[in-house]
């Protein structure tokens, strides 16, 4: 199902009313040394989830060359430059911590990258593309369309296919990269709450059915012969 064919009620039930201006103009924190990364990971460890994205090249290599890693919790976000002379161990340790949910959109390629860096897939995972499908937003919805449907925003994709290995990165590239995770954390909260509400409603329905079945059983067994 394409996003344009969604019913209005299905989309409206998970839309956020606020715009994206605050996140579009927020501070860009580019991490290029190990000490700064360790400090950032201390801040990022506060919370129960991490929104994660990567920028990479794969045109001439079998394995993707990671050019930028974007990470955000509920109120803090950083861009990590793996091309700089930096030890990624603090970040890999954080992503390997199973006490936090790692949030991705269309996670397959990102998981391939982090499985090689960490030695195992990070878990637990929340994939917003899969969650969006469960919420009625269609199969394999793109991140751009998901931002539009859920946040009523527009993602500037003009930097998507730029040369991420070239340094220095432009402010336009950095702001594009930051947007990927700051919008992702908003979408995660909305889809998570929607799915939890759906699960609670299903549980209430199941309980109601069990009560009806129990009443029917009592009615049958208590009827005079």
Q: Which of 77, 81, 127, 180 is catalytic?
A: 180
Evaluate whether 102 touches 124 at the Cβ level (below 8 Å): yes
Evaluate whether 143 touches 120 at the Cβ level (below 8 Å): no
Query: Is 176 designated active site?
Result: yes
Place of tokens 């299903």: 202
Q: Which of 55, 77, 81, 127 is catalytic?
A: 55
- Residue 136, Cβ neighbours under 10 Å: how many? 16
3-state secondary structure of 21: helix
Q: Which of 53, 77, 81, 127 is catalytic?
A: 53
Q: Which of 110, 143, 183, 188 is catalytic?
A: 110
Q: Which of 77, 81, 143, 176 is catalytic?
A: 176
Angle, in degrees to the nearest 10, between helices 89-96 and 108-118 = 120
Integer Cα distance of 126 and 131 in angstroms: 8
Closest to 180 (Cα-Cα) out of 87, 74, 105, 119: 105
Query: Is 97 designated active site?
Result: no
Place of tokens 């390997």: 96
Residue 194 Cα to chain centre, angstroms: 14
Query: Is 27 designated active site?
Result: no
Residues carrying an active site annotation: 53, 55, 110, 176, 180
């Amino acid at each position: 199902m394409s996003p344009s064919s969604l019913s209005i009620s299905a989309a409206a039930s998970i839309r956020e009313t606020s715009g994206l201006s605050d996140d579009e103009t927020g501070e860009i924190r580019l991490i290029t040394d190990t000490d700064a990364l360790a400090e950032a990971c201390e801040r990022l460890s506060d919370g129960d989830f991490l929104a994660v994205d990567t920028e990479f090249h794969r045109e001439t290599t079998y394995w993707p060359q990671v050019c930028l890693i974007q990470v955000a919790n509920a109120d803090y976000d950083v861009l990590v430059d793996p091309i700089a002379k930096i030890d990624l161990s603090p970040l890999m340790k954080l992503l390997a911590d199973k006490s936090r949910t790692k949030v991705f959109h269309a996670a397959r390629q990102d998981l391939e990258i982090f499985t090689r860096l960490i030695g195992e897939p990070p878990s637990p995972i929340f994939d917003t593309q899969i969650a969006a499908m469960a919420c009625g937003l269609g199969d394999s919805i793109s991140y751009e369309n998901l931002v539009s449907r859920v946040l009523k925003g527009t993602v500037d994709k003009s930097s998507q296919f730029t040369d991420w290995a070239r340094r220095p990165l432009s402010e336009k590239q950095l702001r594009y990269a930051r947007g990927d995770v700051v919008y992702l954390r908003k979408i995660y909260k909305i889809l998570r709450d929607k799915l939890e509400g759906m699960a609670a409603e299903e549980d209430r329905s199941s309980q109601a059915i069990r009560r009806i079945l129990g009443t029917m059983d009592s009615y049958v067994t208590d009827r005079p012969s």
